[in-house]
Every structure is written in structure tokens, then in C-alpha cells.
């Protein structure tokens, strides 16, 4: 110990600093305080770095796919970009899966009927998955008020949303496109609950559309669609055509 004290005094004289021992004690105190924090933080930082690496690899993997899409059609590239983001969100956030996707025809028309959750996020996921797997854009009948939301017009146009009427729906199907309709609409979104009661009232026009266009009806239901979001009608929750988280 005397040798250490002697060494401290020699350093004080050499670098012309007073009370060097106090400085060293302070540094030792800081190390004693922050070392446990560093030990705790490092594993989390490693995990963060791993996920950052995974994200980078996913982006790198998708780059050539997106580049190829943009070389064919501007909006197809945009749709593929958006679909990729939404499909990634669906898989990571909700564990979203689609069972029976083979029922969707690769060519030709079909009418898809789905239950309207508090927020139809499952349809967004479904649309993204269909576009990624088949390259087809699924048209959808949206409520009139959606077209009045500021900034939504381009989004609705790019993803081919329409607000009817029945004749327009028949025309879309006869042109060979996929069309999705939720007969319950906003009323079902607000008033239905965790029992998944269907609130269609007298809305049977979709059936007449299928008859007039001579196309098959494909029903779609998303398990746990009410387990993610609350609506004004009660304790409603929501998430996706299969979402288990």
C-alpha cells in the first residue's frame, strides 16, 4: 500500500495535478456504479443488433423483387411495396395466416364476402397477401364516407376501391376481377361484439351481384378479428384469417 501511495504522489508531481488520489477514487466509484448497468445493457444491445441485422437482410432480400416490380408498372411497384410492408406487419405483429388461399382463383372473377371487424385490418392483410402471392389486386366496396377522408383518394384509387352501385360491382366482376364486400359495413363494425353477431339487416344485394355476374361466392372469416381493437358498441377486439397473438 505505501508503494501505491508513493506512486500516486510521484504522478501528482509529474503531471502537476493536486489531489490525484481523489480523482482516481471518483473514477473507481463511477466504474463501480456503471459496470452493472453496462453488464445489463449489453445483452439487450446484442439482441437489438441481431434484429437490426435481420431487418437489413429482409430489406436486401426484397430489393430485387421490388426493383423488378417497378420495371413493369409504376403502380404495381407501389402496390408491391405497400403490400410487403403490410404483410410484414401482419406476420410480426399478429402472426397472421391465411388458410384456404388456394380457393382464390389465379385468374377469373370471384366475390369475397367478409365479416367487418371494428377496423377491417384483416382485409388489408388479406389484400396484401393475395397481391404478393398471385399478383392480383382485390377490389373492395367501401363506405361513402371513406372517400371523403382527406388524403385517402389516391390510396383508394391505387387499390381500386369503389362505393358501388350494384351495376358497377357486376361490371367489375364481369371484367374478370376479384371483388370483396362486407355486407355489414360500418354498422357491423360499431354494433357487433365479441360474439361476432352478423348485422346485415336486409343487405342481400351482394347475392344478386353474384347471380348477375355468374361468379362464385367465397366467404372469408378472420379468427380473433375482435381481439385487437375496441369499438363504441362494446368490448370489441380485433385482429386477423388467422391471427393468434
Q: How far apart are CA 23 and CA 35, in angstroms?
A: 18
**Cβ-based neighbours of 240, under 8 Å, separated by 6 or more:** 90, 94, 96, 121, 122, 125, 222, 223, 224, 225
- Cα angle 102, 132, 95; round to 5: 80
How many other CB atoms are there within 10 angstroms of residue 11's CB atom?
A: 13
Q: How far is the CA of 214 from the CAs of 172, 205, 228, in angstroms?
A: 12, 14, 36
How would you label 157-166 residue by residue, b for 16+ Cβ within 10 Å and e otherwise?
eebbbbeeee
Q: Is 89 a catalytic residue?
A: no
72, 94, 99, 116: the active-site residue: 116
For the CA atoms of the chain, what is the radius of gyration?
A: 29
Q: What 3-state DSSP class applies to 229?
A: coil
DSSP codes, 9-32: HHHHHHHT-TTHHHHHHHHHHHHH
Q: Any idea which residues carry the catalytic annotation?
A: 116
Amino acid at each position: 500500500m505505501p508503494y501505491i501511495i508513493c506512486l500516486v504522489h510521484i504522478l501528482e508531481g509529474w503531471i502537476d495535478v493536486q489531489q490525484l488520489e481523489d480523482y482516481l477514487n471518483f473514477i473507481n466509484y463511477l466504474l463501480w456504479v456503471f459496470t452493472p448497468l453496462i453488464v445489463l445493457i449489453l445483452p439487450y444491445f446484442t439482441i437489438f443488433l441481431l434484429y437490426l441485422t435481420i431487418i437489413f437482410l429482409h430489406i436486401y432480400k426484397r430489393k430485387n423483387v421490388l426493383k423488378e416490380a417497378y420495371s413493369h408498372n409504376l403502380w404495381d411497384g407501389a402496390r408491391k411495396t405497400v403490400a410487403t410492408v403490410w404483410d410484414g406487419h401482419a406476420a410480426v405483429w399478429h402472426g397472421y395466416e391465411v388458410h384456404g388461399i388456394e380457393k382464390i382463383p389465379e385468374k377469373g372473377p370471384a366475390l369475397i364476402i367478409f365479416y367487418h371487424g371494428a377496423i377491417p385490418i384483416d382485409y388489408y392483410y388479406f389484400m396484401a397477401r393475395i397481391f404478393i402471392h398471385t399478383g392480383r389486386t382485390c377490389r373492395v366496396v367501401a363506405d361513402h364516407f371513406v372517400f371523403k377522408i382527406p388524403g385517402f383518394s389516391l390510396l383508394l384509387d391505387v387499390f381500386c376501391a369503389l362505393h358501388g352501385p350494384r351495376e358497377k360491382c357486376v361490371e367489375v366482376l364481369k371484367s374478370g376481377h376479384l371483388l370483396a364486400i362486407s355486407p355489414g359495413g360500418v354498422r357491423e363494425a360499431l354494433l357487433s361484439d365479441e360474439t361476432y353477431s352478423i348485422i346485415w339487416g336486409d343487405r342481400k344485394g351482394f347475392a344478386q351481384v353474384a347471380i348477375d355476374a355468374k361468379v362464385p361466392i367465397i366467404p372469408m372469416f378472420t379468427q380473433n378479428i375482435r381481439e385487437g381493437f375496441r369499438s363504441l358498441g362494446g368490448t370489441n377486439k380485433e385482429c386477423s384469417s388467422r391471427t393468434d397473438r
